[in-house]
Amino acid sequence: MNPIQPHTLFTDFDIDLFKAGKHFQLYEKLGAHLIEVNGIKGCYFAVWAPSAKSVSVVGDFNYWVEGQHPLYVRWDSSGIWEGFIPHVDKGTKYKFKIVSHNNTATEKADPFAFYCETPPNTASVVWDLQHSWNDTTWIEKRKKHNALNQPYSVYEVHLGSWKRNAEGKFLTYLELADQLVNYVKETGFTHVEFMPVMEYPYDPSWGYQLVGYFAPTSRFGKPQDFMVLVDKLHEAGIGVILDWVPSHFPSDAHGLGFFDGSHLYEHPDIRKGYHPDWKSLIFNYGRNEVRSFLISNAIFWLKNYHIDGLRVDAVASMLYLDYSRKDGEWEPNMYGGRENLETISFLKDFNEAVYAQFPDVQTIAEESTSFPMVSRPTYLGGLGFGMKWMMGWMHDTLQYFGKETVYRKYHQNDLTFSLTYAFTENFMLPLSHDEVVYGKHSILGRMPGDEWQRFANLRLLYGYMFTHPGAKLLFMGGEFGQSSEWDFQQSLDWHLLDYSYHKGIKQCISDLNSLYKNYPALYEKQFSADGFEWINYSDNENSVIAYIRKGNDAKDNLVIVCNMTQVVHENYRIGLPASKSLKEIFNSDKLEYNGSGVQNNFSIPVQPIAWHGKTYSAGIKLPPLAVSVFKVE
């Protein structure tokens, strides 16, 4: 006798929301859910497969035999197949056997599975999300920690290669909950950002080709183990951001592609449904059910894993119909433009849904074009993101720092241009994983000069980054001057911390994080032109720039001077708006960083000498290849 029973978790209202693209808790209905029906414990299964001829659940409970446990299709044309199977327990492996109308049979992993087999195995696993959270204090204060007028310094991490054990194997979520948490706390970052943790089949994709959108990868442990990691970070006062990939997905046989024998999740037009760069499939953002799937996924991580922010990957590829396409390979929108109107609508819906339910989190766009108002509210016509990566700053700054110091005077504009548009968006300054792979060298490896100069340049770059307006992001390894390019197949080169130059970089980053968090002028107005004022950006002959960072109170203002060459200036005059004295509070040339120790050790008097268009001025000592930060006393 077939033990499957008709059962549903869906109401008519659920179906209406699903069809309208407005059901944002689909994970509570679709997938596999351990329940009790008429006193019998078992599992309710539901899957969206409107073009299927039949759907059955196969698994280790029925020896993977098709047809033993068929699901029932709903009567309401929703395309949902469902049913209750008694005595299926937590830990059961399963897939959906789907026979299409052309009689093609495939075994698909559950798109809503909470847990998956460890690749290369591909089955879904019946699981629950029970966990006793210990982060109440963090959640209650998260609104302040995540606010745009607070310090936001992000440590970007690839879990598989941050650190490995003595045998070269992955650290587990529980081991990371000890080692990573302590390290992030020690170095002073306010947040960590995990490259995709959702289940993915192919390690070289770094997680950006997802199959299990609702399951943390089992490479590092169980779902509850990942919850412990998040919990421990929150207990340490550290926020957690996840990379989220709604832009594309792989065509693996067990994944979302051609799910029910039709283009269910991907756009049926290859010009919109296939990504030529990544050889992957693109979601159909105009299909309401797909919008419900994606937005439900975003809400899922924020709600069930207490995530504090989502960094949305490859937004530029989503926004433009001609992205990476030649003439004739794309079709203009209804107005003749290149913008993907369906994507724009989807992203607005996504941000509105997230901020409506979680006003204390942030969404962050990786968007590399000049598309307007990415980080402006939807009610003003923006896309609704909280922040946007400042890719132009990253490109121009790294290009500048890669030049020998003798040539920098010819490229001053590369350094200063970012301030012409710095306040058009809420920008995050990224030095991300993409900048340390594929022959680009490590960040340290880009720095010119001898060994001393390379490390001085790196400290200078970081000092400039942390005093430039905007939030900050640094990829793992950069904080101690990783020498080689990032390799996802092995641990970072932690042995480098045995050497003084690398210790100095780590200490410098720790102190910069402390500076950023403790001086309001660096964060209170970090996204406003009111928080920045040039002192001098035109001294290209000496390759020196100077500027003021401002907080809500003028007494908190800071003066920053960057010397981009190895020439020491004993009495470099800068203009100042007030007659108060200056006290040096940070210097990237300190001996403890392995600098040369050229510092301003005493209070610097400000004189009534007009300079740089200002009434007052002061003569300061400029260390070589260094940033000096002064508090106005």
Please, are residues 597 and 525 in contact by the beta-carbon 8 Å criterion? no
- E strands, 226-353, where? 239-244, 274-275, 280-281, 309-312
Residue owning tokens 């045998």: 167
> Crossing angle of helices 288-304/341-357, nearest 10°?
30
**What does residue 54 show for φ and ψ, rounded to 5 degrees?**
-155, 155
Sign of the C-alpha dihedral computed for residues 337, 351, 265 and 200 taken in this order: positive
Residue 479 host element (H or E): none
Structure tokens belonging to residue 227: 């919850």
Residue 155's DSSP bridge partners are: 192, 474
172-179 own/partner pairs: CB under 8 Å, 24+ apart: 172/220, 172/221, 172/225, 173/216, 173/220, 173/221, 173/222, 173/225, 173/226, 173/228, 173/229, 174/221, 174/225, 174/228, 174/229, 176/220, 176/229, 177/225, 177/228, 177/229, 177/231, 177/232, 177/233, 178/232
Q: Which of 586, 539, 582, 575 is nearest to 557 (CA)?
A: 582
Q: Which of 355, 414, 357, 406 is nearest to 385 (CA)?
A: 355
Measured distance CA(254)–CA(259) in Å, rounded: 8
Q: Which of 84, 87, 93, 82 is nearest to 126 (CA)?
A: 93
What are the residues whose beta carbons fall under 8 Å from the beta carbon of 43, sequence distance 6 or more?
A: 32, 33, 34, 35, 84, 85, 88, 89, 92, 126
Please, are residues 222 and 113 in contact by the beta-carbon 8 Å criterion? no
Assign 3-class secondary structure to 25-81.
Answer: CHHHCCEEEEEEECCEEEEEEEEECCCEEEEEEEECCCCCCCCCCECEECCCCCCEE
Residues with a catalytic annotation lie at: 313, 366
What are the residues whose beta carbons fall under 8 Å from the beta carbon of 71, sequence distance 6 or more?
A: 4, 45, 46, 47, 55, 56, 57, 81, 82, 83, 96
Round the CA-based radius of gyration of the chain to a whole number and report it.
Answer: 27
> Residue 338 gets which letter from DSSP?
S
What are the residues whose beta carbons fall under 8 Å from the beta carbon of 426, sequence distance 6 or more?
A: 148, 375, 385, 386, 387, 388, 470, 471, 527
